Amino acid sequence: MDEEQWVTAVSRISDPGVRAALVVQCGLGWVRPHRLDLRNAVDEALINAQSREGAPPQITRVLLHNLPAAVGDGPEGEAMVRSFAEWNHRLAASAALLSVPPPRVERLIIEGSEAGASLPDMVDVLVDGRWSDAPRTEAVLRIVSSPGITTPLTSYDVDLDGPFSDADPSIHM
């Protein structure tokens, strides 16, 4: 995973000619704690693209729904579980708080026996009605649109209330 290539690839999404983008981040490398800066850079680039003036691109993002059982219970596995939970929480929270249409985030469901995702990590853009890597992108979009293979990430998937929110009983006393 080359950080510079990823930052360059997602920065293309801000180009005014881009009408849609597909971003797949299903590799386990994305949830390793030392990749926080790269996760943040990609997230920021996608938020900036969504916030551009004019017609923002339709962004479809594919992440893991769950970590494979092979991640394990050791210290590295526990750190990955924490990074995974934090990242999902942050993505759901940012989608709930954005005043622009947020990216569509689909989570690829991994069976417990699988060691990782079947989808390659990638960024592709739609310009002038053509995907830059049409065969691979269309294959991923077919998978994402197939029932039972992915599930959308929504703000309902994480507790965004926190202490002293409307859901806190002490507010109603």
> What is the CATH classification number for the domain harbouring 11?
3.30.870
Complete DSSP assignment for 25-42 = E-SGGGGSGGGHHHHHHH
pLDDT of 172 above 50: no
What is d(CA 82, CA 127) in angstroms, rounded to the nearest whole number?
Answer: 37
Indicate if the pLDDT at residue 142 is higher than 60: yes
**146 has pLDDT over 70:** yes
Domain range enclosing 85: 3-172
What tokens does 14 get? 């801000």
Share of the chain above pLDDT 70, in %: 88
H-helix or E-strand containing 140?
Answer: helix 134-145
Residue 30 has a pLDDT of 93
Q: pLDDT higher for 112 or 95?
A: 95
Residue appearing with tokens 């983008």? 21
Predicted TM-score (pTM) of the model is 0.84
Report the number of distinct structural domains present in the chain.
1
pLDDT at 171: 47
In the chain, count H helices and then E strands.
Answer: 4, 6
User: Mean pLDDT for the chain?
Assistant: 85
CA distance 38 to 34: 9
Q: How many residues in the chain?
A: 173
Q: Among the ranges 5-9, 98-102, 110-114, 161-165, which has the highest mean pLDDT value?
A: 5-9
Q: How confident is the model at residue 71 (pLDDT cuts 50, 70, 90)?
A: confident
**Region 93-100 average pLDDT:** 76
pLDDT at 155: 62
Q: Does residue 173 surpass a pLDDT of 50?
A: no
* Least confident span in 56-70, 136-150, 158-172: 158-172
The better pLDDT of the pair 110, 81 is held by: 81
